[in-house]
Amino acid sequence: PNPLEVQKQKGAQKRAQMGKHAKEPVRPGTPEPVEGREHVYVQTELYLEEICDRILEVDGECQTDEFLDRPPTPLFIPAKTGKDTATQIEEGELFDFDIEVKPILEVLIGKTVEQALLEVMEEEELAQLRAHQRAFIELRNAEFAELQRLEEQDRRIREEKERRRLEHLEKLRKQKETTEKIAARAFAKRYLADLIPSVFSNLYDSGFFYDPIERDIETKFLPWLMSEVEETLQKKVLGRTMLDSLIRTVVEKRLDAFSCQPPPHQTEAPEARPTDAAPQVSGETDAADQPVTEKEETDQPVAEEQPSDPISSELGESDQAGTQDLETE
């Protein structure tokens, strides 16, 4: 590694140790002296030393050589001991393959064939055992199926017998119940022969039997008719009131127009001016009052530029028409 990096690491470790020492908690001091005594700083060691507030510290350094990589260690090879010897073997000196290996091969082949025959026989015997086992299982399953069929047949017979017995009991119960009902009906018929007409007559008198059309007319049509008639009358009364107020307003305006004096510069025809101005004022007042009548949605039309006598005659005719409509309704 680089020497500068080594020095930096050492300096960092030293600073970390100094910070750790600074963070260590301060040891507790000596307890307070008892009454009449006091603490005195004295030397208790064998050799005297100077006591100061701060411990003297001295930094020491030492420089080492740079780190050099060592070459890899060579493979360890032990030293040779003894002498080298050799032997030459000529052809045919060791053994003859046909003479010495053939008996061994015959024995191996014979044992292998014998083992194969034994395995084949064992497989055939196992196949026969499996066949006998399958036949036995099939026979047992057939017998078990036959047993289940017989049990099911017996169960169906028992259920059919129980069902027939219950049907017979139900039939007897229904016959008895029918007999009791017939007897009760005959008795009730004789007892209620005169009761039913009286009950019907009382119910009819009480109003339980009624004509649906008549009841519908009384409960639905007549209230609707009365409400419509009342609404129509209210509309007609409102129209008459509005028309009366309009007529009153027009008459008052005409009266004011006739009562006012003519201007000084119109002295040529003093008699014709009021008569000519009156229709104009009435027309203007009628035109001004017409939107009011349309806004109120009255049923009576307002005639423009008509004298008071035709208006009163029209009012009388409208009243007669309204009374005739009410009588027809």
Contact present, 329 and 229 (Cβ < 8 Å):
yes
Q: Could you tell me the residue range of the domain that residue 239 belongs to?
A: 211-258
Is it the case that residue 193 has pLDDT exceeding 60?
yes
State residue 133's pLDDT score: 95
CB-based burial, 15-43: b 16+ in 10 Å, e otherwise? eeeeeeeeeeeeeeeeeeeeeeeeeeeee
Give per-residue pLDDT as tens, 155-183.
999 999 999 999 999 999 999 999 999 99
Tell me how many domains the chain contains: 1
Residue 216 is assigned to a structural domain of this protein: yes
Closest CA to 14 of 74, 61, 79, 83: 61
Residue 49 is assigned to a structural domain of this protein: no
Give per-residue pLDDT as tens, 1-28.
577 787 788 888 888 877 776 666 556 6
**pTM beyond 0.85:** no
Determine the Cα–Cα distance for residues 137 and 142; give it in Å rounded to an integer: 8
Residue 218 is assigned to a structural domain of this protein: yes
* 47's tokens: 């050799």
Give per-residue pLDDT as tens, 240-293.
999 999 999 999 998 888 888 565 555 444 444 444 444 443 444 443 444 333
- Give residue for tokens 């360890």: 76
Residue 254 is assigned to a structural domain of this protein: yes
Residue 223 is assigned to a structural domain of this protein: yes
Q: What is the 3-state secondary structure (H, E, C) of 80-107?
A: CCCCCCCCCCCCCCCCCHHHHCHHHHHH
State residue 286's pLDDT score: 44
Residue 65 is assigned to a structural domain of this protein: no
Give per-residue pLDDT as tens, 43-85.
677 776 777 777 778 888 888 777 777 778 888 888 888 888 8
State residue 10's pLDDT score: 82
The residues near 300 (Cβ < 8 Å, ≥ 6 apart) are 239, 240, 242, 243, 318
Residue 239 is assigned to a structural domain of this protein: yes
Helix H segments across 192-221?
195-206, 212-216
